[in-house]
Amino acid sequence: MAVKTPHIALTLRGNSVKKAMRVENRIIPFKPHWGINRHNSSLLASTEEDSLQLVVYVAKTKNGVVLVSCSEEPQRELVLVQEYETGSGAKKWPGFRVNFGDEVCRLSRASTCGGSGCETWTLVSAPLGWAENIASQFQNVRDVESQSISYNPGVILEKLPDPFEKEGREIAEAVTRLLGGSADKAYQILEREYNAGYGRASRQAALIRAIPGSEDDPVAVKLVHATTASTLNNLLQQALAYLEKGIKSNDPLVEDDEADGLMAAAMRKAGLI
Amino acid sequence: MRLYKIEYPGATPKLMKLDTDKGPIKSVELGESGRGRVHKIIPIIGEGPEVRAKRTDNGIVLIRGNWEDTDRALVIINTVGDYDRFRNYGLFSAEGVEEVESGFFAFGEAGRLPGGPEMLAVVKPGAVFKLNSKYTHTWYMFTKEGWVLETPVERRARLALLEVEQGGGEWL
């Protein structure tokens, strides 16, 4: 009988490791933020399910990789590595590359073919802790050179603070407040615009429409008037990460006193407390 | 047999209307006329909702009638669409497709730039072929229920899943 190794499914992009992999029409889609992908016909992986569990079995076939959800203790990581070079509007931000060593098994790959910036997504099977190790070494700081990172099992560096983390958190709280205290609704709206395929201006217009009062709110205005696509993406990403954490832990979305006051007021207004 | 038309690579096959506001259509045309091109006119005769192709000494004729005894279909396939400098036009990886007649589209005044055929073909259920368009290609499959179109990624995903279902592949 074939031995199947349970893998935990992760997405690695720069210094961010997400415990999930996006599935669309039963395919792991290649949707780069930079560059264009109209020539791409590479299949990253397919699955029979509409959404993947956190732990999966992995099969290699001659037509591509197949993922099957399972509920066992993971023994390895299945990582979707999103390497990128930033494009127009974010040239001062570092690109992210990974040097794949013998410790990983590369399964599939998809690349952009032109446009501004470029991306290569690679699906790899790696030892546990690999993605976190790579992410901890990447410095996502403006004016720092692009980095090509190798797995260094002896070192887990303390993560540098993401410059968008604080702003993202503030925005998440502001949007939740503007939507009457519903973190789920805020998450849905922000996620839809984060995943939207159209441009920055259209996404911002959609956000203004979906979040009443966002154009006048001093915090939310950072989101709806972000000057580059990259900034908008980073803000949305951080806001989503913060909201996700709050929703999962079922905690109030705030930590400091000032924000707690705003949140509590919004929740009181909505009749939630 | 029903008569479908694929207007360009990537287009969904459409059922051709044999009767229009101006009356029944008298013929279908394949290709175009001119230097380096081939233009064919196939007459349609008779009455009825479906057609059948008949080969005569003077060419192909489509005869209308109640031909419901077959699950095959006729299809006009334009393999060219718009001009693209480095594209190979044609019908690729075809299985279950029988060409009946074809015309030819070309580009350039002298017709010496790359061109490709527009063909009338009979397809049977299970037929499959591929057409190239500018940035990708599209797989066409004719089934008893109708046409199924797939992008290369969708096709590979389906085949990979099928392989695993049948016990193939290598588990990591």
Q: pLDDT tens for residues B47-65?
A: 988 999 999 998 999 999 9
Whether B86 and chain A come into contact, CB under 8 Å, resolves to: no
Residue A143: left if φ>0, alpha if ψ -120 to 50, beta else—which one? left
**0.85 surpassed by complex ipTM:** no
Q: Is the pLDDT of residue A96 over 80?
A: yes
Contact criterion met (CB < 8 Å) for B152 and A57 = no
Q: Best of A23, A38, A46, A123 to disrupt the B interface by mutation (most B CBs within 10 Å)?
A: A46
Q: Is the pLDDT of residue A263 over 60?
A: no
What pairs with residue B99 in β-bridges? Answer: B121
User: What percent of chain A clears pLDDT 70, i.e. is strictly above it?
Assistant: 86
For residue A181, the one-letter residue type is G
Contacts of B167 in chain A (CB under 8 A): none
DSSP conformational letter for A172: H
Q: Is the pLDDT of residue A265 over 80?
A: no
What's the gap in Å between the CA of B138 and the closest CA on chain A? 11
Region A74-86 average pLDDT: 94
pLDDT of residue A254: 39
Label the pairing between strands A65-70 and A46-47.
parallel
Whether B160 and chain A come into contact, CB under 8 Å, resolves to: yes
Contacts of A26 in chain B (CB under 8 A): 157, 161
Short-list B110, B65, B125, B113, CA closest to B89: B113
Q: Is the pLDDT of residue B111 over 80?
A: yes
pLDDT of residue A199: 80
Tell me the range of A114-128, A152-166, A222-236 where mean pLDDT is highest: A114-128
Contacts of A167 (CB under 8 A, 6+ apart): A222, A235, A238
Region A65-87 average pLDDT: 93
Judged on CB neighbours under 10 Å (0-12, 13-18, 19+), B67 is: middle
Q: Which helix (H) or strand (E) holds B92?
A: strand B91-107
Region B9-28 average pLDDT: 93
pLDDT of residue A253: 40
Whether B170 and chain A come into contact, CB under 8 Å, resolves to: yes
Q: In this structure, how many other beta carbons lie within 10 angstroms of the beta carbon of residue B5?
A: 17
pLDDT of residue A258: 44
Contacts of A216 (CB under 8 A, 6+ apart): none
Whether B88 and chain A come into contact, CB under 8 Å, resolves to: no
The tokens describing B84, both together, are 């693209």
pLDDT of residue A170: 86
Whether B136 and chain A come into contact, CB under 8 Å, resolves to: yes
Region A238-263 average pLDDT: 60
* Higher pLDDT, residue B162 or A159: B162
The tokens describing B28, both together, are 């279908």
pLDDT of residue A188: 86
Region A238-245 average pLDDT: 84
Whether B172 and chain A come into contact, CB under 8 Å, resolves to: yes
pLDDT of residue A21: 86
Q: Is the pLDDT of residue A256 over 50?
A: no
Query: Measured between alpha carbons, how far is residue A1 from residues A5, A56, A194, B167 in Å?
Result: 13, 18, 43, 11
Q: Is the pLDDT of residue B100 over 60?
A: yes
Q: Is the pLDDT of residue A270 over 70?
A: no
Region A195-218 average pLDDT: 84
Residue B130 three-state SS: strand
pLDDT of residue A255: 42
Whether B135 and chain A come into contact, CB under 8 Å, resolves to: yes
Region A208-215 average pLDDT: 86
Q: Is the pLDDT of residue A259 over 50?
A: no
Short-list B59, B65, B25, CA closest to B42: B59
pLDDT of residue B102: 94
Contacts of A60 in chain B (CB under 8 A): 169-170, 172
Domain boundaries, chain B: 2-165
Whether B171 and chain A come into contact, CB under 8 Å, resolves to: yes
Contact criterion met (CB < 8 Å) for B170 and A59 = yes
What's the gap in Å between the CA of A89 and the closest CA on chain B? 27
Contact criterion met (CB < 8 Å) for A39 and B154 = no
